[in-house]
Structure 1
Amino acid sequence: MRRMWASLLVVFLLGSGLAAQEEPAVRVTDSYGRRLLLPEYPDRVVSLAPNITETLFALGKGDLLVGRTDYCDWPAEVAGVPSVGTILQPNIERIVALEPDVVIASSHLSKEVDEKLRKLGIPVAVFNYPESFEGTYETILQVARVVGAVQKAEDLIDGIEQTVLTVMSAVSGLPRPRVYYVISYGQFGDYTAGKGTFIDTLIQIAGGVNVASDVEGWQYSAERLLEKDPDIIVCSKYYNTKEGFMKTSPYTQLTAVKEGRVFEIDNNLVDRQGPRIGEGLMALARIIHPEAFEE
């Protein structure tokens, strides 16, 4: 879709109404209640969130991506796409230079950047839904509606749902070990996934009991963790979290540390509401109940 900025055929509305007589190819309402109307499916897309980038590739539309953030690191081929900076404060000049037909973002996009882009005539769609499987499915579907890949999105969602059912069946009736998920620890503060978080839900579906479900949100304490003394501890594979955690006092007092029941997981699989969430659930279930998946 080649076009001059001075003769935009795209209308992004807060209310209703469309100047063009032809029915738009894209008609989507984003999480802010704004209507995105595009006369044609986009050829040039800038993604401002890792889960959006992953979704584009999973939909078979990675070739549309002309810009992404520093944190968009999967799949590997995304490294060849120019970065426009961070999620919170992307470089507006870089985005403009890429001449995107649409910018797709998540909740992390600042209102200031959002408004600046729209004032420059660049359509912006923000997809921010509850952290849940349903929210993940809606994100995938909304991105698919923008790029014309709804059937592929439905196939992806069917695959995730099948994985959920497979995991639930595999762990049904098994003992439910107590699990603690490490986001950060020590001098950076003790942060985990408390009650109501998506990771809390994943732990439950994977056949575990989240010991941090006694608090809401993300903040915890070393004292409370020592008191709970979980059976299994799951750490991010990045930043040497597992190695550091197992060497740091007072966590060395935990039974799971002493007995070698501290495991690593790719946190992007469980943190990002995107097409790999089923893979994340399966990875977590294999940690909690390896016996259920022995071949």
Structure 2
Amino acid sequence: MKPWLRHCLLACALCGLQAVQAFQVTDDRGVVVTFPQAPQRIVSLLPSLTETICELGQCHRLVGVDRYSNWPATVLALPQVGGGMDPNIEGIVALKPDVVVLAQSSRAIVRLESLGLKVVALEPKSHADVRRVIGKMGQVLDVPHETGPARVWRVIDAGVSAAAQSLPARVKNTRVYFEVNRGPYAAGESSFMGETLARLGVKNIVPKALGPFPKLNPEYVVRANPDVIMIGERNVQGMAQRPGWAGIRAIREQRVCVFKPDESDILIRPGPRMAEAARLMAKCLQDKAP
């Protein structure tokens, strides 16, 4: 074979290989994002996505994160580029990412895309969403499904089931109020946190009809009179002094679980630590349920 022909065939083969490596991912906006190859420089503007990337064994591809990403500990050494609502656009661009992953509600999307950056918006709100988003991140990272996303979801699902099985029968049907933020904003039945509570066998006082994380009239909680309240240390101050709340059974009988900031981070992030969140909820119920 003549040398020039051999070189042509080799070039064609390489072109074919590059074509095979190109792939597409459809994000939660329905936008199709095309990658010529698996991105090696990633900026994450959502803690749950940061944790998912690392749980899939690809923490080394992160070159920047939002200010709230704090797990695993290795990400604390990365440049911080603001938050999803107030991103440092110049800082993100300076990191030269192959892709920026963020929440669908982030204000950064339009600006980043206008600057020519690839953006993948993913925002899990339910257990099904978490499973799907882990799968989507696996696609973005181009990791094998069975040993990557499928494995991570199996661990989460099994952990939540184990937490449920650990609870004594007396806990079942306990009426729970989970406050995620002052307002008060609650975790409703349709949220991933509400779905975890349901799998633990307890009753959420906030029905699906009110949405995943509704802002409630404080009187609603008084009327619902939950048996147990779950709340973060950041939000608990002044709770008992709200009008009428001193008479709520959970407060009157001291059946309130106050989670430390690092525990709250675990509980409010729809990602790979959801099994650990279920264990925290289960421990609360074992200690505080009537």
TM-score by length of 1: 0.81
1:269 corresponds to: 266
**In the TM superposition, what whole-angstrom CA distance separates every residue of 1:247-271 from its partner, at most 9, and x where no partner exists?**
5553222222222211023333232
1:68 aligns with 2:65: yes
In structure 2, the CA distance between the partners of 1:228 and 1:274, relative to structure 1 (3 Å rule), is same
1:122 aligns with 2:136: no
In structure 2, the CA distance between the partners of 1:70 and 1:137, relative to structure 1 (3 Å rule), is same
**In the TM superposition, what whole-angstrom CA distance separates every residue of 1:138-189 from its partner, at most 9, and x where no partner exists?**
111111211133322221111011123223434485432111112344xxx3
1:159 aligns with 2:155: yes
Distance across 1 between alignment mates of 2:128 and 2:190: 14
Q: Is the 8 A contact 2:33 2:120 kept in 1?
A: yes
**In the TM superposition, what whole-angstrom CA distance separates every residue of 1:195-231 from its partner, at most 9, and x where no partner exists?**
4233222222122111222860312223222222211
1:108 aligns with 2:102: no
Q: Which stretch of structure 1 is more off in the superposition, 207-216 or 77-86?
A: 207-216
1:250 aligns with 2:244: yes
**In the TM superposition, what whole-angstrom CA distance separates every residue of 1:17-61 from its partner, at most 9, and x where no partner exists?**
xxx971234431212222222222222100111111111111121
**In the TM superposition, what whole-angstrom CA distance separates every residue of 1:87-144 from its partner, at most 9, and x where no partner exists?**
123122111110111111122222xx32332232211111234x21111011111112
Distance across 2 between alignment mates of 1:39 and 1:108: 26
Q: Percent of counterpart pairs with the same letter? A: 29
Greater Rg over alpha carbons, structure: 2
* Alpha-carbon RMSD: 2.5
Unaligned runs of 5+ in 1: 1-19
2:7 corresponds to: none
In structure 2, the CA distance between the partners of 1:260 and 1:172, relative to structure 1 (3 Å rule), is closer
In structure 2, the CA distance between the partners of 1:30 and 1:190, relative to structure 1 (3 Å rule), is closer
Distance across 2 between alignment mates of 1:219 and 1:243: 18
Q: Is the 8 A contact 1:48 1:87 kept in 2?
A: yes
Distance across 2 between alignment mates of 1:22 and 1:198: 38
In structure 2, the CA distance between the partners of 1:94 and 1:170, relative to structure 1 (3 Å rule), is same
Q: Is the 8 A contact 1:101 1:122 kept in 2?
A: yes
Distance across 1 between alignment mates of 2:161 and 2:189: 22
Distance across 2 between alignment mates of 1:82 and 1:58: 20
Q: Is the 8 A contact 1:24 1:37 kept in 2?
A: no
1:30 aligns with 2:27: yes
